[in-house]
Amino acid sequence: MNLFAIPSPSSLWTTLHPIPHNNLTIFEEVINKTTYASIPNLLNWETAHEPNGNSDPLDAAQSTCDLIYKLDGYHPVSTVLNCQDYNFSPYINGADIVLYYANLIGINTTFSPMWHTVCTLDFGHCGCDNCKGTLYDVRARVQTFKDRLNILGFDRTKSVWTMPQAFGSGAYRNTAPTGQHWAALGFTSFNHGALGRLCDVPDMNKTDLRRQRGRNQLVHEQEAVLVGKIGKVAHRP
């Protein structure tokens, strides 16, 4: 069982992501062994994480979503896409919530330190697909995904959520985002139509978990200050 986190001062674990999603037999066994009915803060299921980046079977997300609806018809289903425009339609068919990856903090947009190749629109992997390394990437990803859902006729049945970057200093990144970075990523997403926010915090131990809880509280305080400032500007005569 793999769990993904949503930043909250009170509780983190709210998204269940059983793996593998493309083997329905194993997937059903995992769900049956998971006492999800007793998890009071379960928000949603996640069927696929970066399926377009891994070239997962195109029908896997839909099949998994159908199985979850059969076993648990109360919680929405999400999927996380990391590519800007690769096989968008097949993978979002199996989701109520479409999340995007735009992990732009600390990346090199022209050269991949992981693969030692250049990154262009047609070649290379720099950790954020076709990103410029600015908040424009967040705005573009949210708006593009919303426009696609509208064109495909899903504007009333599916929504775009944001997954702001909460990790760094890895293969593709030379630094981790600060609380202000994280707040800015979230605000930009909401300003352009994202309806919710989840956060991927992989491989978190107890020490990291306590640190993240304190950091989340700081971020919420920073967001409250920003909301106050924005409200004052918006209501100026």
Per-residue pLDDT tens for 68-105? 888 777 888 899 898 888 889 988 988 999 998 888 88
pLDDT tens-digit profile of 161-209?
A: 998 887 776 778 888 788 788 888 988 999 999 998 887 665 444 455 4
What type of residue is 11? S
| Whole-angstrom distance, CA of residue 106 vs CA of residue 215 | 19
Every domain of the chain and the residues it spans:
2-234
Q: Which of 58, 55, 120 is nearest to 82 (CA)?
A: 55
Query: Residue 130 contacts by C-beta under 8 Å, 6 or more apart in sequence?
Result: 84, 121
| Whole-angstrom distance, CA of residue 81 vs CA of residue 91 | 8
pLDDT tens-digit profile of 2-53?
A: 333 343 333 444 666 655 555 667 666 666 666 665 577 778 888 877 877 7
| Whole-angstrom distance, CA of residue 166 vs CA of residue 5 | 10
CB 21 within 8 A of CB 213: no
**pLDDT for residue 223:** 47
pLDDT tens-digit profile of 102-152?
A: 888 888 989 888 888 998 888 888 888 888 989 999 999 999 999 999 999
Q: What token pair was written down for 37?
A: 């009915």
Q: Using the 8-state DSSP alphabet, how is residue 199 labeled?
A: B
> Largest Cα–Cα distance of the chain, in whole Å?
62
Q: What token pair was written down for 216?
A: 């989340």
**pLDDT for residue 151:** 95
**pLDDT for residue 141:** 93
Q: What are phi and psi of 44, to 5 degrees?
A: -160, 165
Question: What is the distance in angstroms between the CA of the first residue and the CA of the last residue of the chain?
Answer: 54
Q: What is the CATH number of domain 2-234?
A: 3.20.20
pLDDT tens-digit profile of 160-172?
A: 999 888 777 677 8
DSSP labels, 31-85? HHHS-GGG-TT--EEEEEESHHHHT--TTHHHHHHHHHHHH--SS-EEEEE-SSS
Looking at the predicted structure, is the pLDDT value of residue 213 above 60? no
Query: Which SS3 state, helix, strand or coil, does residue 111 take?
Result: strand
Q: What token pair was written down for 168?
A: 């760094």
